[in-house]
Amino acid sequence: MAAAVFLDGDSESSFHEDMIRILDRLPTEEEFRRIRHLVLQQPVHPITDDQLAHVLAASPHLESVVLSGVPVTTDRTVVLLAENAINLQGLNLSGCKEVTDIGILDITNKSLPLQWILLNGVVGLTDPSISAIAKSCSRLVELELCDLPLLTPLAVRDIWSFSRKLRTLRLAHCSLLTDKAFPSPLAYDLPPDSADEKPLPHRPITWLEELPPLILRYSAENLRVLDLTSCKITDEAIAGIVAHAPRIHTLILSGCTLLTDRALESISNLREHLDVLMLAHVANITDRAVVKLARSCTNLRCLDVAFCRNLTDMSIFELAGLNSLRRLSLVRVQKLTDIAIFALAEHATNLERLHISYCDHLSLDALHLLLRKLEHLEHLTVTGVPSCRRKGVQRFSEPPPPNYDPDQQAAFRVFSGENVARLRRFLDKEEKRRREAEAKNIPFVPRSDDKLDLY
């Protein structure tokens, strides 16, 4: 088949009667039988559910449908899609809050060749529809179920048990998920039951607590991306996940506040496979665990330990030695000093993005050295760092968001692209002026301009 012709907005007619892709508009009647991919993320004009239903009912060759820009989509429309698009491989209903289990169950009943499903923020979905996806969509490689307040461990256990080809699984902000939703680190052979020795519970046990450990007899070798942001999981869940999915390269655990150093010890077993690790607000971790992580996961490219206030310069000494490190977030790691910045300047020479906002003890001289040494640095965030309120620095910063209050706007310091180089040149000139002033025994006065003269 000839290469597909991509039509965005008002498109030119093709010389070949080929399948097409439509972006952010509804197709015309002439295009109904030719459209293969329909992407409605930011429609040029508002689209009603009736309009969408009319299109989907008449477009039998659809292979991927993105409806995140049509939040009024209803079950009726999803049912019509399931009935007509027998070759549907991808579906994105993120933000379509009118969709319920009825529409999703109809999708699963049609045995469609679905490979990716995104249902983020479809808040009415419950366990039966998610379990049906896991049990019926055998080709699934990507599943996103973020912001589903009614999703419980019961359905997620089915995902682990049946969706064995998954490469990406996102479960961020699903508030009911606990350790019971994830594989157990226990050995396959469970110890004999010693129920006779257990004391009576001091309160009634819920059905979730009565779920047995999830013991799986296979490894999720294909799983590469796992997002568990703000889930109420403990170190036990991480140990089970890593034992079951040993090739994860992107692991997002921001906001999982119950995790401790034991979780990082388990994550260290991912070794060279780990590429991205997000640990913002996992406040209980310490230098000991980060040092072990840095020595084990030597290919780590992106790390976020923002708001991990127990960390000190020692963690940064180890991280700075990672040749592959490109992005590092240390926001509000308030024990950091200039020594950590010196280590990054000398050793983390491939660093491209660095976030060190609200690290109060950093000097402008240390940041200047960082700028001079890191030739690949493209983005630097130093909001709330007192030394960066120095005269002349702000003019190189990106403008603060308009909804910030006056204090936040005054503290905002974010440097991107060419502004990083401009800031470097400004500080170079300032240092030259300082040295000339010292040589001539003249008091040095900081200025906001780029001139080199001392007066």
pLDDT per position as a tens digit, 311-327: 999 999 999 999 999 99
Tokens of 137: 């969509």
Q: Tens of pLDDT along 181-235?
A: 999 987 533 444 444 445 555 666 666 667 888 888 889 999 999 999 999 999 9
SS (H, E, C) the chain: CCCCEEEECCCCCCCCCCCEEEECCCCCHHHCCCEEEEECCCCCCCCCHHHHHHHHHCCCCCCEEECCCCCCCCHHHHHHHHHHCCCCCEEECCCCCCCCHHHHHHHHHCCCCCCEEECCCCCCCCHHHHHHHHHHCCCCCEEECCCCCCCCHHHHHHHHHHCCCCCEEECCCCCCCCHHHCECCCCCCCCCCCHHHCCCCCCCCCCCCCCCCECCCCCCCCCCEEECCCCCCCHHHHHHHHHHCCCCCEEECCCCCCCCHHHHHHHHHHHHHCCEEECCCCCCCCHHHHHHHHHHCCCCCEEECCCCCCCCHHHHHHHHCCCCCCEEECCCCCCCCHHHHHHHHHHCCCCCEEECCCCCCCCHHHHHHHHHHCCCCCEEECCCCHHHHCCCCHHHCCCCCCCCCHHHHHHCCEEECHHHHHHHHHHHHHHHHHHHHHHCCCCCCCCCCCCCCCC
Q: Is residue 258 part of a domain?
A: no
Q: Is residue 217 part of a domain?
A: no
Angstrom distance (rounded) from CA 19 to CA 129: 31
pLDDT level of residue 275 (50, 70, 90 thresholds): very high
In terms of C-beta density within 10 A (0-12 exposed, 13-18 middle, 19 or more buried), how is residue 150 classed?
middle
Q: Is residue 415 part of a domain?
A: yes
Q: Tens of pLDDT along 278-312?
A: 999 999 999 999 999 999 999 999 999 999 999 99
Q: What is the reported pLDDT for 434?
A: 80
Closest CA to 125 of 53, 178, 176: 176
Q: For residue 306, which phi and psi values (nearest 5 degrees)?
A: -60, 140
The C-alpha angle 216, 267, 280, rounded to 5 degrees, equals 120
Indicate the residue among 177, 196, 219 that finishes a domain. 177
Indicate the residue among 117, 148, 177 that finishes a domain. 177
Q: Is residue 340 part of a domain?
A: yes
Q: Is residue 85 part of a domain?
A: yes
Q: What is the reported pLDDT for 171?
A: 98
Whether the predicted pLDDT of 423 surpasses 80: yes
Whether the predicted pLDDT of 17 surpasses 80: no
Rg (C-alpha) for the chain, rounded Å, is 27
Region 384-388: what's the mean pLDDT? 94
Q: For residue 117, which phi and psi values (nearest 5 degrees)?
A: -135, 125
Q: What is the reported pLDDT for 431?
A: 84
Angstrom distance (rounded) from CA 157 to CA 77: 29
Q: Is residue 354 part of a domain?
A: yes
Q: Is residue 262 part of a domain?
A: no
Angstrom distance (rounded) from CA 93 to CA 72: 10
Q: What percent of the chain has pLDDT over 70?
A: 89
Which position has the token pair 């109060």?
Answer: 360
Angstrom distance (rounded) from CA 161 to CA 217: 9
Angstrom distance (rounded) from CA 72 to CA 50: 10
Q: What is the reported pLDDT for 440?
A: 78
Q: What is the reported pLDDT for 366?
A: 96
Whether the predicted pLDDT of 170 surpasses 80: yes
Q: Is residue 301 part of a domain?
A: no
Q: Tens of pLDDT along 101-144?
A: 999 999 999 999 999 999 999 999 999 999 999 999 999 999 99
Mean pLDDT, rounded, of the chain: 90
| CATH code assigned at 139 | 3.80.10.10
How far is CA 297 from its chain centroid? 19
**What pTM was estimated for this model as a whole?**
0.88
Tokens of 298: 């030597």
Q: What is the reported pLDDT for 186?
A: 75
Task: State the residue range of the domain holding 3.
Answer: 1-8+16-177
pLDDT level of residue 266 (50, 70, 90 thresholds): very high
Whether the predicted pLDDT of 25 surpasses 60: yes
pLDDT level of residue 11 (50, 70, 90 thresholds): very low
Indicate the residue among 128, 151, 177 that finishes a domain. 177
Q: How many domains does the chain have?
A: 2
How far is CA 304 from its chain centroid? 11
Angstrom distance (rounded) from CA 425 to CA 301: 28
Region 409-417: what's the mean pLDDT? 95
Which position has the token pair 């003249």?
Answer: 442
Region 333-362: what's the mean pLDDT? 97
